[in-house]
């Protein structure tokens, strides 16, 4: 079985400050990890993925994520938040060699204040 | 490359009716998955089609069905609509080595 937890329903950050959106996962074997962003009334947009290799993954729009195997975490980060980053963020996981269907977290609403 | 397209973008139906939603995947992608998104339940997996065969299925009643055509386009059908079926229905296509999913803009279904 595979699962994802996004422990914060909402994250508030001031524009220009660094942001972190947390994600922890549980999977049998090696994980494939993904982050998506969703703007109101839109589909999910792919941000980045971790498959193997370097623990720091860089993605779209200046986002990056850090894979930590010992803590089974894959937190999304950005050095300097923009108001336009305000959106709903989803973490997803699937097992390498396992089901092709990822399991999604419940989402974290990021609000960046001017 | 063109992205995933979904039609229609918005639908209003009444209880008891049926509805068909359409999804065209990214060119070359053979897998199409469908999700239901509601504020209370989050993102819930409906089913996945690969090469015209249902490969994975979520935990939804038989009123929800789908199919995939030889060109990988997929349709989802919901019969005997209920108020609780009001949701954003998302289609995702995937392909390549790691099968990451790319989503369409969704179809907003409102059941009155």
Show pLDDT as tens, one digit a residue, over chain B (112 residues): 679 999 999 999 999 999 999 999 999 999 999 999 998 888 999 999 999 999 999 999 999 999 999 999 999 999 999 999 999 999 999 987 788 899 999 999 999 9
- Of B37, B39, B58, B110, which to mutate for an interface test with A (greatest number of A Cβ within 10 Å)? B37
Determine whether B15 is exposed, middle or buried from the number of CB atoms within 10 Å of its CB (0-12, 13-18, 19+).
exposed
Asked if the peptide bond before residue B8 counts as cis, ω within 30 degrees of 0, the response is: yes
DSSP state of A102: P
Chain A residues within 8 A of B102 when measuring between CB atoms: 46
Task: Specify the length of chain A in residues.
Answer: 114
**Interior CA angle at B9 toward B50 and B90, to 5°?**
35
Closest CA to B68 of B31, B20, B99, B96: B31
């Amino acid at each position: 079985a595979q699962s994802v937890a996004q422990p914060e329903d909402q994250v508030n950050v001031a524009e220009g400050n660094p942001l972190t959106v947390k994600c922890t996962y549980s999977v049998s074997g090696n994980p494939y990890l993904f982050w998506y962003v969703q703007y109101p009334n839109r589909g999910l947009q792919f941000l980045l993925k971790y498959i193997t290799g370097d623990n720091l993954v860089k993605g779209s729009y200046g986002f990056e994520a850090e894979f930590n195997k010992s803590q089974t975490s894959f937190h999304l980060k950005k050095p300097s938040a923009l108001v336009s980053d305000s959106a709903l963020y989803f973490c997803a996981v699937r097992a390498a060699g396992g089901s092709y269907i990822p399991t999604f977290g419940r989402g974290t609403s990021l609000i960046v204040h001017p | 490359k063109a992205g995933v397209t979904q039609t229609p973008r918005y639908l209003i139906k009444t209880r008891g009716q049926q509805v068909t939603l359409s999804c065209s995947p990214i060119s070359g992608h053979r897998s199409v998955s469908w999700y239901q998104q509601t504020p209370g339940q989050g993102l819930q997996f409906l089913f996945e089609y690969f090469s015209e065969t249902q490969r994975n299925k979520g935990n939804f009643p038989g009123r929800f069905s789908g199919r995939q055509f030889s060109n990988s386009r997929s349709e989802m059908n919901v019969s005997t609509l209920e108020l609780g079926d009001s949701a954003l229905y998302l289609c995702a296509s995937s392909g390549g080595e790691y099968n990451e999913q790319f989503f369409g803009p969704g179809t907003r279904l409102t059941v009155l």
